[in-house]
Amino acid sequence: MVSQEPVAITGMGVFLPGASTVDQYWRNLVAGTDAVTDVPPHRRDPAFHGHDGAAPDRTHGRRGGFTADTLDFDPIAHGVPPTSLDGTEPDQLTALAVAVTAVEDAGGLGRLGHPERIGVVLGRGGYLSPGLQGFDQRVRTVRQITRTVGELLPAAGQDVLDRLRAALLEPLGEFRPETAAGLVPNLAAARVANRLDLGGPAYTVDAACASSLVAVDQAIGELARGRCDVVLAGGAHQTQDDTLWALFTQLGALSPSQRISPLSRAADGMLIGEGTAIVVLKRLADARRDGDRVYAVIRGSGTSSDGRGASLLSPSVAGQTLALRRAWAGLDLAEIGLLEAHGTATPAGDAAELTTVADVFGQASGPRSVIGSVKSMIGHTLPTAGVAGLVKVALALHHGVLPPTLNCADPNPLLDKTRFRVLAEAEPWGDLPRVAAVNAFGFGGVNAHVVLEAGDPAPKRRVRVDEPERVLRLAAATPEALLEQLEKPGEGAGPCRLGIVGPDERKLATARRVLAKVAAEGRSWHGGGDIWCTTDPLLPAAKTAFLYPGLEADAEPRLDDVARHFGLDRPQWSTVTVPARATSVSSTGLLLDHALRRLGIRPDALAGHSAGEWTAMQAAGMYRAEPDLLEKYWPGGFELPEADYLVLGCAAARVTELLPGDLVISHENAAQQTIVCGPPDVVAEFAVTCRGLGIVARTLPFRSGFHTPLMEPHLAPFARLVADLDLLAPAVPVWSATTTRPYPAAAADVRRLYLDHLLRPVRFRQLTEALHDAGFRAFVQVGAGQLGSFVTDTLGERRHLVVAAASGTRSGLAQLRRVATALWTEGGDPDFAALEPRRIRLNTGKPLLSLGESARGLLDTAAPPELPAGVPDAIVAEFTALLTETRRSAADVVAAAARRRTESTVDVSLAAMPYLRDHRFFRQRDDWPDEDDFRPVVPATTLVDLACRAVERTWPGTKAVTVRDAVFSRWLIASPAQRVPLSLSREGDRVTVEIGPYALLTVEVGVFAPPPSPAGVPGPETAPPLSAAEIYERREMFHGPAYQGLARLTGLGEQHIRGELVVPPAPGGLLDNVGQLLGCWLMATRSDGLLAFPRSIGKLTWYGPEPPPGTRVTCQARVRLPRPDVLEMDAELVRDGRVLASVEGWRDVRFPCDRAAHRVYAFPAENLLSERREDGSVAVTDRWPTVAARDIYAGVYLSAEERAEFAAVPPRQQRGWLLRQIAAKDAVRARLAEPVYPAEIRVHDDGTVSGRHRELPGHAVTVELTGETAIAHHRSTP
């Protein structure tokens, strides 16, 4: 046990199954989101997963908790060579990324104190990880295979073995020296300390499943002993290696049912998860002193070992009890409100833990506390499990909400002997004590327990919009051509430029008026309505100046996202004292300076206002400020004159006429703004005088006396400071607001001017004039405040551009997007791509070593024919080699010929195609047990992808480049699972593919053809009515995340639609999103026939390889309506300005569906197909003339059992049968006070109604069918 003072959790970060952020993790916890899934296809080995597991090279396991394959992380910003990423252990990257997030969540490194007193302790297991797995294949497996082959075939010879070795190494790629560091296990913690420049201890601990909570215990010890002031503690586990699964299978710990049910009577074992989570720990007193946000407070921590238990792998109640009692020493056990159990769901583990809990906490004498386990949602994340539970509990305390536990409808009977209960749904914390605890028990008998209590109440967080705004940039030779571009966007060039941030219909309309005004008056438009426009750009002929604000800004600029995006420390903002204000302004300016340069925006000169001049000097590299200046040069306190500043709205000449003798002009900011300084009472009196003369007068909220002779008595510390500065020549000229010229070159002159700057007035108006005279026209305000307005006030009608890089009301990246747009419009060339999110793909390992193509036929051992005796050895060798090559070629030809027609089957199931959970036609309750009722359907585009990949596998070395005449005859449904015939018939370069009775298409193999030029926009357009995010939120498109690729809808015309797509992870997902874009056009332009599904594709041509998931492309679809029930399009995909693919003759079949019916399809629990009538009855009229259309609404309203009954009804009676069911169910739903899905209601032949997988009050209905209308009356059950 650690005897400790309270420790605060001030920051947190996670990368866990289903959640890459703390906010998402909390949403999942409260909603009870099940993030356990089937093994992703690219990580699943059919020869290993899903078997009986009797042998160690098999496992029955096929489900677990898997993190995303991509990580929001900029390797360059964090000093990780991009070339080393492929081989680096993923936990090193996730640990660094999550640590950065946790630190940012705690307020940034600047808020954590001296870096030398910040440590890192991470729990990490010794399991085989992806990086070492690949390295072992390279070092050992290749050598073993070649040696074994040499032993089996001694005649192979060294040449064959060398070729075999090369073929085995080929798929592993190049190994770079920088990759080696990414394989050292303990560097998961060391890399964090290295990249964040932390000087405290940095190490990993391995305590099996208790590792991360033991790491927290170690961190508490570092704080308690005073060796650290802050510690980052947590765990990292990013591997699902076959050896790990096999190990837990052999131990009998893996769930046979493939369902993890902690604390449940049905618990039969664990499912393995992965993930990384880190918390920032700080002594509570220090956190309170520094004004930190405190999620929760750790009051106790205890660890133990089982000692000589029953066995190394059997949990010991005595050992667990020891850890709990150590943690609770001096605390009241009865005060617990929530216990996060270790809860592995193994029968022995749960039984031992519940026995321990009963022994330690006893039974309840009042309201029962809550016990739970997050493993039910994310699986057992092994070394990370403890901290995953700790973050859950800290968030629960912080928000005052008790999260649920999944899969525990029938709790373990041992719970009855405890004071705890399990929740099925989240509840408010209520009157239970705001105290919680976390268990983590590891194999081998290592136990850890942590006790927490509530910290600060949860503040309201700013809502972050993940989707960045789009920027529309248009260029043309003339204003008229630019207007044409605006109406019909396309490629263009010329001096006339228009930039719009977030172009919606309103902004586009404004832009038309702006363009007309600019064309008529010849004056540029700068920023009004987020629009910039010019016909005569200032750049690159003119120069650009960065201007750094002084102390006048009070509002903190919003820069969290900028710091996070560029991997920089977030500046701390404080206006409590003058030094704190100066530090805040300076650090903000330096952060923005860095960000602007990353955008390719580089100044020709720097200047500052007041203290901003020091920021400019630092940005230019003239000196670097030390962190302890106050202690070093002002040990007795920072003293300044008691002098107020008065801002006056008039010219300096007018002020001079009125100025009393005790006041001096300190700043001449602009033509109509002057600041005076002096004793507070004189300033107050002069303010009254000025206001009486109609002059605006305002006193600034701080005192300093800077830029006046009042500073003379306080100059000595500044003189010592500047004398000690190691001055360097500026990388960019810095202009002085004291002399209105560039800083001198000599160090002595710089030091003299530094001090003069404190004594003499700021002449910013004259500086602005001088910069303009020197050719500067673009002025970027690098910080918050009103500095840019001084430039505008001074220059008046003279041509110039002013734009601020920070805002107090808009996010930092959004404001930088406006800076880039403004400068581009005026002829600059900023790098807009630098503002886009950065993601890397994690190395998840390669389960088995595969052979390169060069190894085919390598070990063919057929003996060559005998040659006559006496033939020279050289001829024998040449003849033998020729025969070998001929034999290999002949074998290839024969094998290819044998495969002209192949027959096989495809496993169509959610196990084989888990992404189909995101392509369910029908919506049901989230925990609905019958997957058939969701109807997961294989999309037409996934069938196309399946066909192409099957062709490429059957004829290795070929590439599918074109698909022709694809016809989709019926929906291929994946639940219940089925095996579907797959037939391939090849003639030359064309392969006919038949996928059962579901699809027929022709795949052409060959090389990619040269792409055509991108097509222009086909006609006038407006902004689409909904954003891409709203399309999915409103279920205009029913697709889930694996098929969600609509990023932005950029233009909507009468016969076209344009958008930006991000390649989703599901096979065929990119083409599916082309179809979704067509669906968006349909939803935006029509009021009926809103459901449409692909029937055929005339031709699909790829001009390059299909890009990987996460790639951004643009798409333009040209739409036709040849018949009311048919929707056609031609489409074009463009990547980086180059046509990637074209689609010709895509045809959808439309189904009758108006807006009201579509709401029922999208949200069936909340909407009725029937109309409510005045007498309380409901009526539904048949609007579905075809069998296929009727099947859609049968799927919405009927369960699988009911659909079977429906199918058995004679065809002529089916319409009436379905109408009666719909009306009856709607009559009941109209009376219920809560949303109910139609499938949750069962209507019996006698008109009584019961619930299906839910409780319903007694209901009965009578239904009458009149023609095409069914009317249902509700009647209470007797």
Bond before 976 cis per omega within 30 degrees: yes
Predicted pLDDT at 654: 94
**Mean pLDDT score across all residues of the chain:** 88
Q: Tell me: the pLDDT tens digits for 1113-1134?
A: 999 999 988 778 889 999 999 9
* CB contact burial 701-728 (16+ within 10 A = b; e otherwise): ebbbbbbbebbeebeebbeebbeebebe
* Domain 1012-1151 class, CATH top level: alpha beta
Q: What class does CATH assign to 543-636+706-828? A: alpha beta
Q: What residue has token string 């902690």?
A: 262
Could you give the residue ranges of the DSSP H alpha helices within 453-535? 479-487, 505-521
Residue 1221 confidence (pLDDT) above 90 = yes
760 — phi, psi (to 5°)?
-105, 155
Q: Residue with structure tokens 């290819």? A: 896
Instruction: State in Å, rounded, how far the first CA of the chain is from the last one.
Output: 65
- CA distances (Å), origin 637, targets 113, 631, 633, 708, 1154: 20, 8, 9, 21, 74
Q: DSSP readout, 167-208?
A: HHHGGG-PPPHHHHGGG-TTHHHHHHHHHHT--S-EEEE-BT
Question: Maximum distance among all alpha carbons in the chain?
Answer: 125
- Per-residue confidence (pLDDT) for residue 886, from 0 to 100: 58
Token pair of 1163 as six digits: 């949200």
Mean pLDDT lowest among 321-325, 371-375, 969-973:
969-973
Q: Which CATH class is domain 642-703?
A: alpha beta
Please tell me which residue, 781 or 559, carries the higher pLDDT value.
Answer: 781
Q: Tell me the three-class secondary structure of 25-74, residue by residue.
A: HHHHHHHCCCCEEECCHHHCCCCCCCCCCCCCCCCCCCEEECCCCEEECC
Q: Are 920 and 975 in contact (CB under 8 A)?
A: no
In percent, the amount of the chain with pLDDT more than 90 equals 60
Query: Of the CATH numbers 3.40.50.170, 3.30.470.20, 3.40.50.300, 3.10.129.10, which one belongs to the domain with range 899-1007?
Result: 3.10.129.10
Q: Identify the pLDDT of residue 177.
A: 63
Cβ burial of 846 (10 Å; 0-12, 13-18, 19+) is middle
**If pLDDT is split at 50, 70 and 90, which confidence band does 6 have?**
very high
| 2 three-class SS | coil
Average the pLDDT over 1223-1236 and give the result.
Answer: 90
- According to the model, what pLDDT value does residue 51 have? 82
- State the pLDDT at residue 879: 61
- What is the rounded distance in angstroms from the CA atom of residue 492 to the CA atom of residue 1206? 59
**What is the pLDDT, as a whole number, of residue 636?**
81
pLDDT in tens, 163-218: 888 888 877 766 766 677 778 777 889 999 988 889 999 999 999 999 999 999 99
Asked whether 145 and 257 are in contact (CB, 8 A), the reply is no
Is the peptide bond prior to 641 cis by the omega test (within 30 degrees of 0)? no
pLDDT reported for residue 632: 84
* Total Cβ atoms within 10 A of residue 859: 12
Q: Among 113-122, 975-984, 1210-1219, which is the least confidently predicted range?
A: 1210-1219
Confidence of residue 898 (pLDDT cuts 50, 70, 90): very low
**DSSP of 1085-1133, one letter per residue?**
H-SS--EEEEEEEEEEEESSPPPPTT-EEEEEEEEEEEETTEEEEEEEE
pLDDT of residue 12: 97
Please list the helix, strand and coil fractions of the chain in percent, rounded to the nearest 5, in that order: 35, 25, 40
Where does residue 208 fall: left (phi above 0), alpha (psi -120 to 50 degrees), or beta otherwise? left
pLDDT at residue 3, as a whole number: 46
Cα 151–chain centre separation: 51
What pLDDT, on the 0 to 100 scale, is given for residue 184? 79
Strands (E), 562-663: 605-608, 644-648
Residue 34 backbone phi and psi in degrees, to 5: -90, 110
pTM, two decimals, is 0.55
For the segment 413-417, the average pLDDT, to the nearest whole number, is 95
**Of the candidate ranges 409-413, 629-633, 869-873, 1179-1183, the one whose mean pLDDT is the lowest:** 869-873
pLDDT for 178 equals 61
CB 1242 within 8 A of CB 1249: yes
pLDDT of residue 893: 47
Mean pLDDT, rounded, for 586-594:
90
Q: What is the CATH number of domain 1162-1276?
A: 3.90.470.20
The conformation of residue 611, written as its DSSP 8-state character, comes to T
Lowest mean pLDDT among 38-52, 410-424, 766-780, 908-922: 38-52
Count CB atoms within 10 A of the CB of residue 504.
Answer: 16
- Which pLDDT score is estimated for 1209? 85
- Under a CB-based contact definition with an 8 Å cutoff, are residues 666 and 700 in contact? no
Average pLDDT over residues 652-678: 94
Measured at the CA of 563, the angle between CA 557 and CA 569, to 5 degrees, comes to 105
Domain 7-134+179-454 has CATH 1.10.357.10: no
Nearest one of 283, 280, 343, 274 to 315, comparing CA atoms: 343
Q: Which two tokens stand for residue 358?
A: 């009963």
Backbone angles phi, psi at 299, to 5 degrees: -100, -20
Catalytic amino acids? 209, 342, 380
Q: Residue 519 is which amino acid?
A: A
Please name the residues in contact with 875: beta carbons below 8 A apart, sequence gap of 6 or more: none
Q: CA nearest 390: which of 36, 102, 113?
A: 102
* Of the listed ranges 298-312, 450-464, 726-740, the one predicted with least confidence: 450-464
Top pLDDT among 775 and 244 is at 775
Q: Provide CB contacts within 8 A for 741, sequence distance 6+.
A: 735, 770
What three-state secondary structure class fits 947? helix
pLDDT for the residue numbered 466: 44
Q: How far is CA 692 from CA 631, 679, 695, 1060, 1231, in A?
A: 45, 20, 7, 59, 71
In this prediction, residue 219 carries a pLDDT of 97
Per-residue pLDDT of 1246-1267, as tens digits, reads 889 899 998 888 889 999 998 8
Q: Quick one: average pLDDT of 18-22?
A: 93
**Can you read off the two tokens belonging to residue 819?**
């800076």
- Among candidates 889, 997, 903, which has minimal Cα distance to 954? 903
Question: What does the pLDDT average to over 741-753?
Answer: 95
Half-sphere exposure of 638 (CA within 13 A, CB side): 16
How does residue 719 score in pLDDT terms, banded at 50, 70 and 90?
very high
Task: Provide the 10 A C-beta neighbour count for residue 157.
Answer: 11
The answer on pLDDT for 899 being more than 60 is: no
Residue 870 pLDDT: 67
pLDDT in tens, 1028-1077: 999 999 988 999 999 999 999 999 998 899 999 999 999 999 999 999 99
Q: What is the per-residue pLDDT across 81-138, written as a single tens digit (0 to 9) for each?
A: 665 677 788 999 999 999 999 998 998 887 899 999 999 999 999 888 888 888 888 8
Residue 463's pLDDT is: 35
Contact predicate 1176/1200, CB 8 Å: no
What's the confidence (pLDDT) of residue 871? 65
pLDDT by residue (tens digit) across 838-877? Answer: 777 787 776 677 665 556 566 765 445 565 666 676 766 6
Most confident of 51-55, 508-512, 568-572, 942-946: 942-946
Inter-residue contact 901 to 985 (CB < 8 Å): yes
Q: pLDDT band at 954, cuts 50/70/90?
A: very high
* Strand pairing class (1178-1181; 1171-1172): antiparallel
